[in-house]
Amino acid sequence: MSVSEPFQFLVELSQKIQSIGPALPAQQDIQKRWSGIGFNVLGQRMIAPLGEVVEMLPVPSVTRLPGVQEWVLGLANVRGRLLPLFDLEVFFGGQPSAHRLNRRVLILEMGDLYAGLVVNEAYGMQHFPENLAVSDLPEKVSHLAAYSKGAYEQDGLTWMSFSPYNLVRDPRFFNAAAA
């Protein structure tokens, strides 16, 4: 057997396998996606960017604070750290939710800020192709435009892109003392 015979055998074997085997899948264009944590406030589905929400958990036991706005729920001890909790629904003018079992806390950690936003319901990770972005917010939440980075429409639902960063820059958010 010459040196080229084993190589030739392997070439022929490879050609035979390729002729009877399934074809490789067609290469598809990779579509950019935007990902975030989905939740519900004021009956509107919203999403917060992954980089601005570090954790999501059920609402822990809360110690109420005297002399604060009604949207400040109080302080919770989360793994040895004091976490101030804010009811996002009430902050935006809604009523406290009666469905306490579905409520979740979205934890923000931005520099020195460590805070929890309580939302009525959380949907977990959501992913949207960037081509589904829309510029108009639904009319019922147009007053939240200052906290928005636009919206996405998918499967007949509009998801407002919510910016916790814009929320914490709002002077009203840091004025938690009752009037």
Q: What is the pLDDT of residue 88?
A: 95
Q: What is the pLDDT of residue 59?
A: 94
Q: How far apart are alpha carbons 163 and 121 in whole angstroms?
A: 17
Going along the chain from its start, the domains and CATH numbers come out as 33-174 (2.40.50.180)
The string of pLDDT tens digits covering residues 11-55 is 888 888 888 877 766 666 667 888 999 999 988 899 999 888 999
pTM of this structure: 0.78
Q: How far apart are alpha carbons 154 and 147 in whole angstroms?
A: 21
The string of pLDDT tens digits covering residues 107-159 is 999 888 899 999 999 999 999 888 878 877 777 777 888 898 888 888 888 89
Taking the CA atoms of 91, 95, 100 and 102 in sequence, report the sign of the dihedral they define.
negative
Question: What is the Cα 90 distance to its own chain's centre?
Answer: 20
pLDDT at 174 over 60: yes
